[in-house]
């Protein structure tokens, strides 16, 4: 990529960021690297050819040069690298106090094929300490080149020294775009991810992390290859994701605190602004054992998806999970044709949950009869402990406040909008409106429908409903097949 302006003009144009202020004032050359100010390096001035393309790849392998530049963060005490073009690279390691900035989405990195390693990782891995701090990524595209990478590879054949215990991944290691283990004060703003081989990113052992204005583009979706978006393991605290848009071949976001170790927590999470673009699946919250997921707020989620919108689940057959307070607010998702082995749904919640709040939920003219709310066993099987005994799931409180359903659809085996198949101590529904269609086929479909159904192992201790209009739906509540409502207000 070429710029018609001089380098000094280019620096001045970018100097709105504090780290570049004064960088144009002078420069020195150290070991062939031109340094502006204390920390700033422009890739083209350092000898980078930048002859690749962030969408199609090609060009010169520039891994050695870029790693040499990134290692200067240790020598100088910090680094601000401006990548003013597109580079073909293998795995790069980022140190503390590093900023990588790209002027636009045509600049960035394309992952060279057949590299058994992530495209970008932190330099000092740790599952117990946060050894890397103050890493910032501004703009640009990071292309995982999924068509030329393997899904996974033997851990012994990794092309980088990750120094992780085998229990983290077992005998195989998946191929991610980003891999960050043990980081604090991490920011990614205006970054585009493209063509992830598996997860776009796996991050664990983190504190104070921000993703803002993030795009995930997946033009090459591969069937059932775990092409997730952002995936988090605990321990972790203070995670913020704002304005995420894109596609995924699995979960667009996964918060899975103890998926790896059974004990780690993730707390204090804000996800505000997610736009799904035919995503395979939406947001998964996973606690499999003792690890706690708590103080989580997810709001302003719109767009289109295929299989599920939100899934709260232990998933693995173990102890049933440990969920504290989970809040959803202002949701409007549209389901497309499902592409999975399980029944599609908008919300499903299973496991041990203390408080679940769902506010301002819109379910507008669905194309099929997928379930809106499901509380109970995960789809695909029961939960069992290590001895093989079935785990009975229990939710303490559920509040649904502000629900608008427009022209719902009901099908065989799916006759209700809210389905309860586990123990809920208190369920409150208020300010709900169902606007039913008036054509003859819709009226026939509504004849066996209900707003809320309790069945099987479903039991509600106290059911409270206020200001609920169900339109032409046949029944407000239905109790069958062993279900119980102990008290209704």
Q: pLDDT by residue (tens digit) across 163-218?
A: 676 667 778 889 999 999 999 999 999 999 999 999 999 999 999 999 999 999 99
Domain boundary among 222, 246, 262: 222
Q: Which of 313, 312, 254, 304 is nearest to 279 (CA)?
A: 304
Q: Name the residue among 130, 114, 39, 121 with its Cα closest to residue 82.
A: 39
Write the CATH number for 85. 2.160.20.10
CB 130, CB 206: distance < 8 Å: yes
* Mean pLDDT calculated for residue range 428-445: 93
The answer to whether residue 73 sits within a structural domain is: yes
Residues 191 and 233 in one domain: no
Q: Do the domain assignments include residue 239?
A: yes
Q: Which domain holds residue 80?
A: 27-222
Same domain as 87, residue 139: yes
| Residue 134 domain flag | yes
Query: Are 213 and 313 in a shared domain?
Result: no
State pLDDT tens for residues 458-470.
999 999 999 999 9
pLDDT, residue 443, reads 87
Same domain? 239 vs 118? no
Is residue 426 in a domain? Answer: yes
Domain co-membership, 209 together with 305: no
Residues 310 and 163 grouped into a single domain: no
Residues 209 and 266 both lie in one domain: no
Q: Are 79 and 95 in contact (CB under 8 A)?
A: yes
Q: How many independent structural domains does the chain possess?
A: 2
Of the chain, the percentage scoring pLDDT greater than 70 comes to: 90
Average pLDDT value for residue range 320-348: 90
Output the six-digit token pair for 275: 């736009």
171 occurs within a structural domain: yes
Share of the chain above pLDDT 90, in %: 76
Residue ending a domain, among 194, 222, 250, is 222
Residues 238 and 213 both lie in one domain: no
CA–CA distance from 434 to each of 185, 287, 398, 418, 474 (Å)? 45, 33, 19, 12, 12
Regarding whether 371 and 241 lie in a shared domain, the answer is: yes
Reported as half-sphere exposure (CB side, CA atoms, 13 A), residue 199 has a value of 19
Residues 182 and 291 reside in one and the same domain: no
Contacts of 457 (CB under 8 A, 6+ apart): 376, 377, 392, 421, 422, 423, 482
CA 206 remoteness from chain centre = 15
Domain annotation covers residue 10: no
Last residue of a domain, one of 192, 222, 252: 222
Strands 281-286 and 251-255: parallel
Residue 3 lies in a domain: no
Is 4 domain-assigned?
A: no
Q: How confident is the model at residue 389 (pLDDT cuts 50, 70, 90)?
A: low
Same domain, 210 and 235: no
Dist. CA 245–CA 358, nearest whole Å:
22
Quickly state the pLDDT bin for 223 (edges 50, 70, 90). Answer: confident
- Tokens 């106090």 correspond to 97
> For residue 114, how many other CB atoms are within 10 A of its CB?
12
Q: Is the peptide bond before 235 cis (omega within 30 degrees of 0)?
A: yes
User: pTM for this structure?
Assistant: 0.93
Determine phi and psi for 105, rounding to 5 degrees.
Answer: -70, -10
Q: Are residues 208 and 241 in the same domain?
A: no
């Amino acid at each position: 990529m070429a710029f018609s302006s001089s380098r000094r003009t280019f620096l001045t144009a970018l100097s709105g960021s504090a780290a570049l202020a004064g960088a144009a004032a002078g420069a020195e050359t150290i070991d062939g690297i031109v340094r502006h100010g204390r920390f700033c390096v422009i890739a083209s001035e350092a000898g980078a050819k930048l002859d690749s393309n962030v969408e199609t790849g090609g060009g010169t392998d520039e891994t050695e040069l870029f790693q040499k530049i990134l290692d200067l963060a240790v020598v100088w005490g910090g680094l601000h690298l401006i990548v003013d073009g597109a580079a073909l690279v293998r795995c790069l390691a980022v140190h503390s106090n590093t900023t990588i900035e790209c002027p636009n989405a045509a600049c960035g990195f394309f992952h060279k094929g057949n590299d058994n390693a992530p495209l970008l990782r932190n330099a000092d891995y740790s599952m117990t300490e946060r050894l890397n701090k103050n890493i910032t990524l501004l703009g640009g595209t990071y292309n995982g080149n999924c068509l030329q990478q393997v899904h996974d590879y033997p851990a012994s054949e990794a092309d980088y020294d990750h120094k992780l215990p085998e229990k983290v991944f077992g005998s195989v290691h998946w191929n991610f775009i980003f891999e960050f283990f043990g980081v604090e004060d991490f920011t990614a703003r205006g970054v585009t991810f493209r063509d992830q081989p598996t997860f776009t990113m796996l991050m664990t052992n983190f504190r104070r992390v921000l993703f803002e204005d993030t795009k995930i583009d997946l033009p090459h979706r591969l069937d059932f290859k775990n092409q997730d978006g952002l995936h988090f393991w605990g321990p972790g605290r203070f995670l913020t994701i704002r304005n995420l848009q894109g596609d995924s071949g699995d979960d667009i976001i996964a918060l899975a605190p103890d998926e790896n170790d059974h004990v780690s927590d993730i707390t204090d999470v804000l996800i505000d602004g997610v736009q799904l673009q035919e995503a395979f699946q939406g947001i998964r919250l996973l606690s499999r054992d003792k690890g706690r997921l708590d103080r989580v707020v997810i709001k302003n989620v719109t767009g289109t998806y295929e299989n599920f919108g939100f899934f709260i689940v232990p998933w693995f057959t173990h102890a049933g999970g440990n969920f504290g307070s989970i809040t959803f607010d202002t949701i409007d998702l549209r389901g497309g044709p499902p592409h999975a082995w399980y029944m599609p749904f908008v919300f499903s919640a299973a496991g041990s949950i203390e408080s679940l709040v769902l506010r301002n939920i819109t379910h507008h003219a669905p194309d099929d009869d997928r379930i809106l709310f499901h509380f109970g066993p995960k789809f695909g099987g029961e939960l069992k402990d290590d001895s093989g005994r079935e785990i009975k799931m229990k939710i303490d409180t559920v509040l649904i406040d502000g629900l608008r359903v427009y022209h719902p659809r009901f099908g065989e085996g799916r006759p209700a909008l809210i389905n309860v198949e586990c123990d809920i101590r208190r369920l409150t529904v208020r300010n709900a409106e169902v606007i039913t269609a008036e054509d003859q086929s819709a009226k026939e479909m509504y004849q066996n429908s209900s707003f809320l159904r309790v069945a099987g192992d479903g039991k509600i201790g106290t059911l409270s409903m206020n200001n609920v209009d169900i339109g032409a739906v046949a029944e407000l509540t239905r109790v069958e097949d062993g279900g119980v409502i102990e008290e209704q207000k």
